[in-house]
Amino acid sequence: MDRYQFLTILAGLIFSLGLLGVVLRRNLLVVMMCLEIMLNAVVLSFVSFAVRGQTLPGIAMTFFIYVAASCEIALAMAIVVLLVKRRGSLDLGAHQELKG
Amino acid sequence: MIKLTLIPLLPLLGFLINGLMGNRLPRWIVSTIACGLPALSFLITLILFSGLAANGVPLTETLYSWAALGTLNVDVAFYFDQVSAVMCLVVTGVGTLIHIYSAGYMSHDESQPRYFAYLNLFLFFMLMLVLGKNMIVLFAGWEGVGLASYLLIGFWYKDPEKSAAGMKAFIVNRVGDTGFVLAAFLIYFYAHTLDFQAINSYFATANLPVSTMNLIGILLLIGACGKSAQLPLHVWLPDAMAGPTPVSALIHAATMVTAGVYLLSRANGVFLQAPGAMEVVIWGGALTAFLGATMGLTQYNLKKVLAYSTMSQIGYMFMACGLGSFSAGMFHLYTHAFFKACLFLGAGAVLHALHGEEDMRNMGGLYKKMPFTFYTFLAGSLALCGIPPFAGFFSKDEILWSAYASSHGGSQTIWLIATVTAGLTAFYMFRAIIMTFFGTDNVPAKLKHGIHEPPFSMAIVLLILGVSSLMAGFIGLPGVIAEKFGLSSPFFNFLTPVLGHHAIRAGLTEQTELMFMAISIIVACSGIFLSWLFYSRNPGWSAAIKKKAGGIYTAVSQGYYFDAFYENVIVKSMDILSESVLYNIGEKLLNYITIIKAGGSARFGGDLLSRLQTGSVQAYVLYVLAGLALILWWGVTNV
């Protein structure tokens, strides 16, 4: 197993870990953190493929992802703060009114 | 070369001006526009007509291509040949006169601009009908005059009876139009063209089975019957008298109702190949002429007498077409336009003086107060009765002679029906004259002081039409008289290139023709004499006969129960069909299937699917994940 293979598998594992956290955890803040973990797994795979292929665009992409991620987290945190103000709880189960 | 297009476009311009801005313009401008533009059309028609008479070359003007669908090319094209020239002269000439008359007649009406807008619109469509080069342009005009007729019959729309009469005319005409459209389909199916000249030349050499030709002929005839108020589609015409009287004169006497005759002449190439359809045209025309005249005998409403008379005279024209004497039909159309317009406008002058009183039982003795109106009315009546030298004599005699002598189905029976009808015509016309202008004065007291001769604009038109009723026949002298005096019949010579000669049976002498002429004069005079005897000399006799005839009289005065038949059989059965069958079976079944069944299952499915909508964000993430996994799996296995 060369290091690129290892890095790809590692990225897959981290992504799955983040996904599990998003699906299973009930704390809003932890869910947000797991989302960030998934994003980082993606960035890791971008970087490893870029290094392996000796190309620049993959590396440039990571910077865009970080910019987008920081914007996203700023918005998401604002939403989380508003939700918590509304219900007084960080539990996802408290935010289920949009039920069919 | 835009002249030909201007003929219909000028009235359209009048419609647009008066229709859009008429209410803001002073009334004299409205009526000047409304009368002036048709007069200009008439002038252009005259110029084109003199050119056509000199060199005999028909004019064609193509405006633009309306539709190009594969092999079917429909152009908006106008065609000015001998037949459309005659029609065009009648429509613009009589039309202009009636517009001028209307300026006086409608001067007190609050919606005078609307009236003139509709009247100009009518002229536009009528000219489009007359000048249309192919069946589609003609049909557009055909429907347009139907619309204008509907608008003008229901002109005083505040009276529900009058707007109902307008709707009746419109709906009955639809029945005829169905026939017209089907005929157009069939013609296109066989001839691959809708251009009249091409149709006529195609069918002349096509050698199609006679049954096909008869079918096309009958369908065209149904269309013509609807528009021209022939049996059994005549029921709308008497009711159409609800419109203003000049409208009755223009649309329901002189021009629109004769469109059927024009259609038969235009499509003469089709009819000449369809002997069975021609037979139906003859008998339909003869029956309509006879029954219309008998219905005219029993009416007390002055305008309805004239309406039934119109129907009866158009029956004569149809009969002439069926006998192959298309030019005789056109000649009667042309003289009829003058004398019937004259009669209607004379009746309008009487109505105007009596503030809308139409019942002849409330008239009488008007001769002393309105002598001028009486003399013009008399001129029109004499022309209608066929008394020489009035115009109607020449045209009607031509038809009576064809009825006997035509090699296309002329016979003694047809001639006898036509001649008896001529006698009846004379009888009911003079009955109307005696009841209106002579006899005891039955005018209600409150109307008496207002009786007056018509104003100048109306009187001048009456005068022109009265003189035309006297003179118009001289351009179409019967062949035998023309030969005797070394004169010619310019009317028939003019139409021969398009409509051909009358086909006369072999072995008939000049003496026979002169004898028949004498008989028709005698019959007309005896009709007049009898009505004098029954209504003036011994008024008791007519009442006695009425009593004796009993049920027959009622049947005739009710128009042979045609209306009752349509009301009770056709309309009722439609009602029953729609209520019992369509509502109970159709609609309820449909409701069960669509609303109860289909609606129920949609609701059930919705209930099921809404379970997925848990409101939990994490569940949604799972769905996305599952979807993504499915797509990836599908991608890996299939690509």
Report yes or no: B422 and B396 within 8 Å, Cβ to Cβ.
yes
Torsion of CA B74, B76, B81, B87, to 10 degrees: 120
pLDDT digits over B480-507, tens only? 777 777 777 888 888 888 887 777 777 7
Instruction: List the end-to-end C-alpha distance of chain B, in Å, as a whole number.
Output: 70
Residue of B nearest to A21 (CA): B618
Chain B hits for A79, Cβ within 8 Å: none
For B577-600, what is the mean pLDDT?
82
Return the residue matching tokens 């006969």: B545
% of chain B with per-residue pLDDT over 90: 27
Looking at residue A100, what is its pLDDT?
A: 61
Residues whose CB is less than 8 angstroms from the CB of residue B77 and which lie 6 or more positions away in sequence, other chains included: B60, B61, B62, B63, B132, B133, B134, B137
- Phi, psi of B22, deg, nearest 5: -55, -35
Q: Is B617 on the interface with A (CB under 8 A)?
A: yes
Q: Is B607 on the interface with A (CB under 8 A)?
A: no
Looking at residue B1, what is its pLDDT?
A: 54
State the Cα angle at B62 between B59 and B67, rounded to 5°.
Answer: 145
**B8, pLDDT greater than 70:** yes
Looking at residue B42, what is its pLDDT?
A: 93
Which residue has better confidence, B588 or A65? A65
Alpha carbon B253 to chain centroid, angstroms: 7
Length of chain A: 100
Q: Which of B609, B614, B625 sits opposite A99 (nearest CB)?
A: B614
Quick one: DSSP state of residue B74? E
| B416 token code pair | 């006898």
ipTM score over 0.90, yes or no: no
Cβ pair B621:A96 closer than 8 A: no
Return the residue matching tokens 């035998």: B480
Residue of B nearest to A24 (CA): B618
Which residue has better confidence, B586 or B523? B523
Q: Which of B611, B618, B625 sits opposite A92 (nearest CB)?
A: B618
**B367, pLDDT greater than 70:** yes
Chain A hits for B613, Cβ within 8 Å: 98-100
Q: What is the CA radius of gyration of chain B?
A: 29
Coil, strand or helix at A80? helix
Band of the pLDDT at B553, cuts 50, 70, 90?
confident
pLDDT digits over B216-257, tens only? 999 999 999 999 988 888 888 888 888 888 998 888 888 889
| B575 token code pair | 């009602």
Cβ pair B613:A96 closer than 8 A: no
Chain A hits for B617, Cβ within 8 Å: 92, 95
Which helix (H) or strand (E) segment holds residue B345: the answer is helix B326-353
Alpha carbon B314 to chain centroid, angstroms: 9
Residue of A nearest to B616 (CA): A96
For B420-433, what is the mean pLDDT?
90
- Count of other CB atoms within 10 angstroms of residue B167: 14
Residue of B nearest to A16 (CA): B625
Looking at residue A14, what is its pLDDT?
A: 95
Contact pairs from chain A to chain B, CB under 8 Å = 31
Residue of A nearest to B618 (CA): A23
Residues whose CB is less than 8 angstroms from the CB of residue A31 and which lie 6 or more positions away in sequence, other chains included: A21, A22, A25, A92, B618
pLDDT digits over B14-57, tens only? 999 988 888 888 888 888 888 999 999 999 999 999 888 888 88
Looking at residue A93, what is its pLDDT?
A: 78
Cβ pair A19:B617 closer than 8 A: no
Helices first, then strands: H and E counts in chain B = 30, 2
Q: Which of A23, A24, A97 sits opposite B615 (nearest CB)?
A: A97
Looking at residue B290, what is its pLDDT?
A: 92
Query: For residues B479 and B494, what is the distance between their CA atoms, to the nearest angstrom?
Result: 14
**B2, pLDDT greater than 70:** no
Name which of B326, B341, B210 is nearest B277 in CA terms.
B210
pLDDT, averaged across chain B: 87
Chain A hits for B622, Cβ within 8 Å: 23
| A51 token code pair | 């290094």
Prior bond to B454 cis, omega within 30?
no
Looking at residue B368, what is its pLDDT?
A: 81
Name which of B316, B255, B285, B270 is nearest B130 in CA terms.
B255
Query: For residues B257 and B249, what is the distance between their CA atoms, to the nearest angstrom?
Result: 10
Chain B hits for A93, Cβ within 8 Å: 616
Looking at residue B441, what is its pLDDT?
A: 78
Least confident window among A59-73, B157-171, B325-339, B534-548: B534-548
Chain A hits for B612, Cβ within 8 Å: 100
Residue of A nearest to B620 (CA): A23
Cβ pair A24:B618 closer than 8 A: yes
Q: Is B442 on the interface with A (CB under 8 A)?
A: no
Return the residue matching tokens 């994940």: B625
For B318-331, what is the mean pLDDT?
89
Q: Which of A22, A23, A99 sits opposite B615 (nearest CB)?
A: A99
For B568-597, what is the mean pLDDT?
83
Query: For residues B253 and B317, what is the distance between their CA atoms, to the nearest angstrom?
Result: 13
Amino acid at B359: D
Interface of A with B (CB under 8 A): 19, 22-24, 31, 92-93, 95-100
- Count of other CB atoms within 10 angstroms of residue B615: 13
Torsion of CA B481, B483, B488, B490, to 10 degrees: 60
% of chain B with per-residue pLDDT over 70: 100
Q: Is B616 on the interface with A (CB under 8 A)?
A: yes
Q: Is B71 exposed, middle or buried (0-12, 13-18, 19+ CB in 10 A)?
A: exposed
| B582 token code pair | 């369509």
Return the residue matching tokens 């008791």: B540
The count of C-alpha atoms lying within 13 angstroms of the C-alpha of B486, restricted to the half-sphere facing its C-beta, is: 0
Which residue has better confidence, B89 or B56? B89
Length of chain B: 639
pLDDT means over runs of 10, chain A (100 residues): 88 93 89 91 91 86 90 90 86 75
Q: Where are the alpha helices (DSSP H) in B192-258?
A: 196-206, 210-228, 236-239, 245-249
Query: For residues B107 and B454, what is the distance between their CA atoms, to the nearest angstrom?
Result: 12
pLDDT digits over B209-218, tens only? 888 899 999 9
Amino acid at B191: A
